């Protein structure tokens, strides 16, 4: 039996009353990832912007409403490029264990970091297969996140 996908993680805490499950279907193309975070706080939300198989721009957001000092930042994924590494940090925010920062690497480009790296780091280089989605839990913040990898 051949595996169709592998789930790695999740990293983070065990809180979050909502389940995050974003899978890039055949025919979809991930174009942007927007992360909202606060300095010395945590990642409040993550949004995936993609073209569906009808070439319509769609988006899926996971996480809570951010406070007024939150900063949205966007990673643009150029045509034909793939995510080659995902990382970040897990730490305390208020009384919760959450994702405090995220890092993405696309192709051979430098990492783009969202949030403030603090806490326990994690890193997943992806050299065999393709990132085909993300999973985890969220409430007011992004509590945990893992990566779905499919064969190339």
pLDDT at residue number 152: 82
- Ranges in the chain, pLDDT < 70: 1-3
Which position has the token pair 């893992």? 146
pLDDT at residue number 68: 81
* CA proximity to 140, closest of 72, 69, 48, 63: 63
pLDDT, tens digit, 9 for 90 and up, residues 77-98: 998 899 999 999 999 988 899 9
pLDDT at residue number 99: 97
pLDDT at residue number 142: 95
pLDDT at residue number 2: 60
Q: What is the pTM of this model?
A: 0.92
DSSP 8-state assignment for residue 40: T
Angle at alpha carbon of residue 149, lines to 98 and 47, rounded to 5°: 45
pLDDT at residue number 89: 97
Provide the CATH number for the domain formed by 25-127 in this structure: 2.100.10.30
Give CA separation, 64 vs 43, 46, 76, 107, in Å. 10, 9, 22, 30
pLDDT at residue number 83: 94
Q: Is 110 helix (H, G, I), strand (E, B) or coil?
A: coil
Give CA separation, 60 vs 28, 46, 68, 130, in Å. 13, 8, 22, 20
Give CA separation, 130 vs 20, 69, 92, 134, in Å. 19, 34, 31, 12
């Amino acid at each position: 039996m051949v595996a169709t996908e592998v789930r790695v993680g999740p990293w983070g805490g065990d809180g979050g009353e909502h389940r995050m499950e974003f899978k890039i279907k055949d025919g979809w193309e991930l174009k942007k990832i927007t992360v909202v975070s606060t300095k010395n706080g945590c990642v409040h939300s993550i949004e995936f912007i993609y073209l569906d198989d009808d070439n319509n721009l769609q988006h899926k957001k996971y996480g809570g409403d951010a406070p007024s000092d939150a900063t949205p930042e966007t990673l643009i994924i150029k045509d034909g490029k793939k995510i080659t590494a995902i990382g970040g940090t897990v730490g305390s925010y208020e009384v919760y264990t959450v994702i405090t920062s995220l890092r993405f690497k696309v192709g051979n480009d430098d990492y783009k970091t969202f949030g403030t790296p603090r806490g326990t780091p994690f890193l997943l280089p992806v050299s065999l297969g393709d990132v085909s989605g993300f999973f985890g839990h969220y409430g007011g913040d992004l509590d945990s996140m893992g990566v779905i990898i499919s064969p190339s």
